[in-house]
Each structure stands twice: as C-alpha cells, then as structure tokens.
Structure 1
Amino acid sequence: MFSLGGIANSFTSSSLYYCDGNPYLMPVFHLVSLSTEFTYSVLSKINIGTSPRTRFDHYVLGYKKANKASTEEKFAIVTGANSGIGFETTKALALAGFHVIMACRNKESTEEAISKLELETGLKTFEFMQLDLSSFKSIDAFVDQYKKTHDKLHLLVNNAGVMMCPYSKTEDGIEMQFGTNHLGHFKLTNGLLDLIKDSERARIVVLSSMANYIGTFDKSLILEESKYNKMVNYGISKLCNIMFANELSRRLEGTGVTVNSLHPGAVNTNLARHLTGNDLKATEFLKSIVFISPTAGALTSIKVSLDPELEGVTGKYFSHEEEATPLGEALDEQKCKDLWEFSEELIKKHST
C-alpha cells in the first residue's frame, strides 16, 4: 500500500530532529510542518495513493478476518461520536463488529447520528450515553452508569475536544481546553481502567494533534488566565494528550492493554466552531482547499483501533496512518509523570 503518510512523517521528523528545543529554529519547524501537512492533505484530496474509502474498508475487513474465530461481544466507547472523525470512527468500529457506546453531550444530535449510522450500516449496535467532559460530575455519572450496564470495555477512543475557544472555565473551574481535552479524558480513562484491564487485548486510543508542536507543559500557562493564548493553550492540551498516553502505557506495561496517541490530520469538521473574525475566514478558506474529509481524517484512529499489525504496540504516536514523532517533551518520562501527578492534584482540588 502506497504510504504517502510515511513520506510526510519522515520529512516532519527529520525537521523536528534539528529544531526541537531551539527557540530560534522552532518557528522554522512550524512552517515546515504546516507546509508538509497541507501538501499531504492536497495530495490526499486528489487521491494520490489509495482512496480513503479503500483504506477504511481495508482496516475493517482486516480486523474482521483476524478475529473471525472470536465469539465474544466487543464493546467500544467513542467520545464525541456524533459528528466528524468520531462519527466515521464509530461507523468503522460497528462494521468491524463492535457494540459502540457514543459518549456525547447532546442527546438529540446523537440520536440523529445513530439513525444515520443505522441507515448507512444496516446495524443496530449503537448506544447513546450522555457525557460532558467539562464536568467531573458528568464523568463520574457516566462511569457509574457504564459499569452498571457493561462488564467489559475492549476499546476506548478519546476523540472529543474543543479548539481555540475564548478563555472560559469548566464546570469545575479549570481552563476549558486543558480541562476538556486532557483532564476530562484523564478522569474518564482512569475511571474505566479496571474494566479495560479485565478485557482481552484492550486498546486505548487518544486523539491529539500536530498542534502538540506548539505546546509546552507549563503549569502557569494552564492556571493563570492572564497568560492565556487560545492557540498556545490548545497546543498544550494536545501535547498533554500524548504525554498522558505515554505515561499510561508505561503504567499498564504487562497488562496486555495498549495505549497510543495520534494526529488525525487537517480535517473538515466543526472543531473550529469557536473561531471568529480573521481566524474564521482563514479556516473557512483552508477548509475549501486543504482540509480532508472526516472519513479520511478518521483513518488513523481506525487503524490504531483495529489494525491487527498493531497488536501489542503501545506508547507510540501516529500521524497519516503511520508512526510519527511528537514534540520531545512528550517523550520525557519525568515530565509525563509530573503531568500525571498534576492532573491528579487538580481533580482532587476541584472535585466537590
């Protein structure tokens, strides 16, 4: 299979090798990585290499073939499953044989998504459970309800997120992007961990972004409103996604559970709904020319969730359906441990 993604990742990784940690060279790297991303997206849109639909089917059929002898019902949770990447990922998982719990805030839009999924797949293996990742109370209620109704969890896809929103706080008083994108998923995952460990060959998939390259784990940038920058803080939350996945993979060593993170691509979704003014105009322009479809954007999530060749692979970062290199901070074990402890402290401090 032609690997356009592998070429793009190699170019980005080589550039990062020379620039990472150098404040003078990192702006150059940011330009290089964006140019590479946009070039990859344009070539993907004109179908250089195999089509997204062909690769979608390849991952689904590959999983079904590898698991055809299994009679156990498989359960998956996808956060933010009612639109965009989450919707397409949910569709693939159902076609692969999973019963999919769609963990979303809005009941009405999720029920509409379920009707569409049932029509497109001919399956009735979709279940709505309400979840607001910006609320510890909602996360606790979700975990309690899931454990009452299910005794296994073979796949958790931490897909939901917010992007570049104006400064605001979660219900529990934490900066919204960090609180939703990282801390909400951190709490959710840990709440479900006992079921995940009891499920055979379970996987945890954490969606990040190439925005991790503009992030840094600096507590003051997370805690102090005066230092808030919507783009930088988005990058921080996405860097923390990778750091969390890497630390969790180390903590789960020997359990059979794998944890990996990924960048889905520059995807035409509603994630940028909070943008206004020139930011919105630029995004709308890029959507029409560069951004890939949700189906194409979901392919890395689908691969990391289903590909039999990734059995046992853990603590890795993927982009364009291939293994890639994140920012160096994400690979710093001590910083990853510090983030874990900081996350636990915040949850304890802000829980009511």
Structure 2
Amino acid sequence: MGPHLTGVTGLDVLFVGLGLYVCMYCYVNLRKGKCHSKKSLQGKTIIVTGANTGIGFETALGLAERRGRVILACRNPDKAEAARDKIVQLTGNSNVVCRQVDISVMSSIRKFVNVIKKEEERVDILINNAGVVTLEKIFTEEGLELTFATNHFGPFLLTNLLLDLIKKSSGRIVNIGSAASVIGKVDCDNLRAEKHFSQFQYHNSKTATLLFTKELARREPDVLVSCVHPGTVRTDVFRHMPTPVKFLVSTVFRMLTKSPAEGAQPVLFCALEDSVEPGGYYMDCRLYDHSLWVPKSAYDEGLAKKLWESTERILTDCG
C-alpha cells in the first residue's frame, strides 16, 4: 500500500494563503515605478482634474514642486481651496489656483473652459485625472450614465475644448486609464446605457479611455497624449462602491495597493519624461503597449473612430 495521505488542514491553507500574499506584496512593491525627472515647469500652465484628493492631489503637488502654474480643477470649491493651501504650504509655490468644474456634467465643463480661455494664454499639460467607480446605474442631470459621463464623456469634451490652448504650446495630455480595461468592451450604440447597464461599466469606460487616447494621438500629432494606469490606489474613487468593497481595499488588500503618492509617480512620468511615446499606454513608469494588460480592441482604429463620432453626436445632444 502507498503512504498514508492525510487531509489538508486549515493551517496548511493559512500558510499557503500567507505565502501567496507575501509573493503578491513583493511583486507589487518591486514593480512600483518612480518619476525621476527634475524638469522645471517655470512658466508652464498645468490643469489637473480632481486635484483636491488622492492621485490628483499628489500629482498637483509634484507639479507645483517643479514651479509650474497649477490649476486645480475640482467639483467642490471648499475642498479645492483646502488642497491649494496645503500645496502652497508644502511647496512654497503660490502660483496654484482653484477653478470649479464637475467633470460628469458637460455644461459645467463648458463654463470651466470659458473661464480658462479668458484667464490663460496656453495650457502646457492637461491631466484628466477625475474618475469614478460604481456598480449602480446612476444618471446625471443631462441623461448620461455617471461612470461614462465622468470617465469618458467629460475628459473627451474637456480635452477637445482645450485643444487650441494645448496646441499653442505643443503640450501634453495625460489620460488616467486602468488595467481593468483589459476585460472591458465598448459598445458605441450603448454609451448612455440606453440598452443595458453592465456591472463592468468601469472597465468598459477605461477601454474607451484607451481608444480615445489612441485616436487623439492619430488626429493631433503635435500634441503628446498618453494613457497611464497608476495602479490600484487607495483613493475615494471607490466612494460609490458597496461598503464591503471599500473595506477590503482599505484593510485586507491595503498592502497590495499603492498610496496616492505612489500612484502619482506614473502620472508624473507621462507628464514630464521625454521618452513618453505618442498614444502610449504606461504602467509603473514603463511602456505597456501590446502587453497582456492591453485589450486588442485598443488597436482597432475603426472602433476608435466610431467611438469618437458617437461621442461627438451624444455631446451635441447634450448642448
């Protein structure tokens, strides 16, 4: 007879689980990239959406440290002013201003752009950072589904309305993407969730971000546009998620996620480094195009063009 086989104990499972956790922790931390650029942004104007907290705040802080004129484009004026005061205190750069905009509301974006065009002669860097994750079907006052309104329609409209100012400086645009896009799908006939609402709406919206980035790079060769996955970062982007999900991110998976300061590093990399490629997709300060993390649909030029045209039609309907 063969050797006596004992059953797997709970302790065995615990040790295996801990081993896997440690391996994942080491992998995440060894892969974290850092932006080493010391480039001065003196005389440059930068807009960062959603800059009062999380990745947006840390990105704005890093840009203010490099002496840029940083515009905090935020939904909540009070939180924006508090963020501005902290950035000025930490950097000594008083050339940081707050301007109100709700990226999920197209009329708010149009008003914001009107203000910027009156105040600024050029925009050197636009960072489309504001985003949201939700599993609920929520509509904005303009009839747009909230996730796509915030993650796709808003950045699309803001970018296109500011293009003239950005092109004056041959500037840069950095779109915040997500590795979640790898399982996302874009249905150009369902961008407002008019046919159905998917529980993968966030994933789909970030696939749209990739397609938008690629198409914009093709249409505007004088502007350096890139897309960046900052990593899984502990921010309030999960504010619309169920409490158990928020609990897991903030506790159980805390050591497998990044701090906002760490998440800002790949964003700063795309905003500053000379090696950034037009239309490139970046993770951990490395180019990740044509990797397993990028959906094949991201390179479908026909789909990208259709998404662009469909988005334009919907935004025209929004006035």
TM-score normalised by L of structure 2: 0.87
Give the structure 1 partner of residue 304 of structure 2. 336
Query: How much has 1:242 moved relative to structure 2?
Result: 0.9
Give the structure 1 partner of residue 173 of structure 2. 204
| SS at 1:223 equivalent | coil
Asked if the contact 2:67–2:93 (Cα under 8 Å) also holds between the matched residues in 1, the reply is: no
Asked if the contact 2:234–2:250 (Cα under 8 Å) also holds between the matched residues in 1, the reply is: no
Asked if the contact 2:265–2:285 (Cα under 8 Å) also holds between the matched residues in 1, the reply is: yes
Rounded to whole Å, the distance in 1 between the matches of 2:281 and 2:23 is 21
Rounded to whole Å, the distance in 1 between the matches of 2:49 and 2:131 is 9
Tell me if 1:219 matches 2:188.
Answer: yes
Query: How much has 1:211 moved relative to structure 2?
Result: 0.9
Asked if the contact 2:64–2:87 (Cα under 8 Å) also holds between the matched residues in 1, the reply is: no
Rounded to whole Å, the distance in 2 between the matches of 1:221 and 1:74 is 39
| SS at 2:48 equivalent | strand
Asked if the contact 1:220–1:227 (Cα under 8 Å) also holds between the matched residues in 2, the reply is: no
Asked if the contact 1:167–1:225 (Cα under 8 Å) also holds between the matched residues in 2, the reply is: no
TM-score normalised by L of structure 1: 0.79
Give the structure 2 partner of residue 288 of structure 1. 254
Give the structure 2 partner of residue 15 of structure 1. none
Give the structure 2 partner of residue 327 of structure 1. 295
Rounded to whole Å, the distance in 2 between the matches of 1:139 and 1:250 is 24
Query: How much has 1:260 moved relative to structure 2?
Result: 0.5
Q: Which runs of 5+ in 1 are unaligned?
A: 1-35
Rounded to whole Å, the distance in 2 between the matches of 1:251 and 1:241 is 15
Q: After the TM superposition, which residues 42-57 of structure 1 pair with which residues of structure 2 at under 5 Å, given as runs?
A: 42-45=26-29, 48=30, 55-56=34-35
How many pairs are equivalent? 296
Residue type of the alignment partner of 1:316: G
Give the structure 2 partner of residue 249 of structure 1. 217
Residue type of the alignment partner of 2:143: G
Rounded to whole Å, the distance in 2 between the matches of 1:182 and 1:322 is 24
Distance 1:317 1:286, change over 3 A: farther
Give the structure 2 partner of residue 258 of structure 1. 224
Larger radius of gyration: 2
Query: How much has 1:192 moved relative to structure 2?
Result: 0.4
Q: Paired residue for 1:234, among 193, 197, 202?
A: 202
Q: Paired residue for 2:245, among 279, 296, 300?
A: 279
Q: Paired residue for 1:141, among 108, 111, 116?
A: 111
Q: After the TM superposition, which residues 43-192 of structure 1 pair with which residues of structure 2 at under 5 Å, given as runs?
A: 43-45=27-29, 48=30, 55-56=34-35, 58-59=36-37, 61=38, 63-64=39-40, 73-192=43-162
Residue type of the alignment partner of 1:217: V
Residue type of the alignment partner of 2:263: G
Instruction: Give the root-mean-square deviation of aligned CA atoms.
Output: 2.2
The percentage of counterpart residues that share the same residue type is 35
| SS at 2:258 equivalent | coil
Distance 1:170 1:76, change over 3 A: same
Distance 1:151 1:37, change over 3 A: farther
Asked if the contact 1:38–1:290 (Cα under 8 Å) also holds between the matched residues in 2, the reply is: no
Asked if the contact 1:41–1:292 (Cα under 8 Å) also holds between the matched residues in 2, the reply is: no
| SS at 1:297 equivalent | helix
| Structure (1 or 2) with the greater helix fraction | 1
Rounded to whole Å, the distance in 2 between the matches of 1:100 and 1:289 is 31
Give the structure 2 partner of residue 10 of structure 1. none
Q: Paired residue for 2:163, among 180, 193, 204?
A: 193
Rounded to whole Å, the distance in 1 between the matches of 2:196 and 2:124 is 40
Q: Deviations over 1:71-91 (max 9, x none)?
A: x71000000011111111111
Rounded to whole Å, the distance in 2 between the matches of 1:142 and 1:156 is 14
Rounded to whole Å, the distance in 1 between the matches of 2:48 and 2:77 is 15
Q: Which runs of 5+ in 2 are unaligned?
A: 1-19
Give the structure 2 partner of residue 12 of structure 1. none
Q: After the TM superposition, which segments of 4 or more aligned residues of structure 1 sit over 6 Å from their partners? A: none
Distance 1:195 1:224, change over 3 A: closer
